[in-house]
Amino acid sequence: MIVDAGGLAVEGGGRICRGRLFRVSGALVVPDDLRRFERLGLRALIDLRGRSEERALLEQWTARAGVRYVWLPIEVARGSDLARAVAEAHDADHAADALAVLYREILDGHGRELAGAISVIAQGTPVAFGCAAGKDRTGLAAALLQLLLGAAEDEVVSSYASAPPTVEVLRGLVADYFTAQAAPPHLDVLLGAEEETMRRALDHIQSRYSGVEAYLLANGLPSDVPRLLRQELVED
């Protein structure tokens, strides 16, 4: 599954360019998606999946297609992490809190990978980036980039909630973790993409790191990248 991460309005006028930034659900990629990748003219594909997650399909495709493959593993929010969170949650509210904790773990433990992804994007687009589901790690990477480009928080949060695959599609990615028993109803909370989840993550960035740009710079983003990205990826 491939979703254009552009099109959002930015403060001061203009929009993030379409056709330059693409979110990818790596575990859901099918042959038709590979053919679409070829038509997009990608310069790089950034894979945020961890060491234990299957990455061969996209890695092999990039080698054949002459596309740069950049692996920046984020070892949080994998299927096993979601399954553990479901097992520990008592109800939907606990599940929502567990998802918020996973997002904080991504931000606090993998800032270098997120900043690294944005640095790769600054080296030239079109670029695709994603994880397994294209929701959690991918959603945070997209939100950081969109905010850095000047999109308003409301636009970013709305984009996060509308872009990922549906819960029905994502259930298949974690089905093996629940073979012994039926998946609990609050699994859907962890597989969903609610606006409140992203708002809590952005509040965490603001309170702990004083904002998105400060967070990314502290994690190694070169100081000239925000300006360069805005020049290249914001259109009138």
29-82 per-position pLDDT tens digit: 888 888 888 999 999 999 999 998 889 999 999 999 999 999 999 987 666 666
Range(s) of the domain holding residue 74:
2-230
Per-residue pLDDT tens over the stretch 90-114:
677 878 888 899 899 999 999 999 9
Residue 182 lies in a domain: yes
DSSP per residue, 31-62: HHHHHHHHHHT-SEEEE---TTS--HHHHHHH
81 part of a folded domain: yes
Domains of the chain: total: 1
State the DSSP code for 89: -
Check if the beta carbon of residue 49 is closer than 8 Å to that of residue 93.
no
The answer to whether position 235 is within a domain reads: no
For residue 81, give the nearest of 117, 59, 53 by alpha carbon.
53
Question: Is 236 a domain residue?
Answer: no
CATH code, domain with 115: 3.90.190.10
* All residues at 6 or more sequence positions from 181 whose CB lies less than 8 Å from its CB, including other chains: none
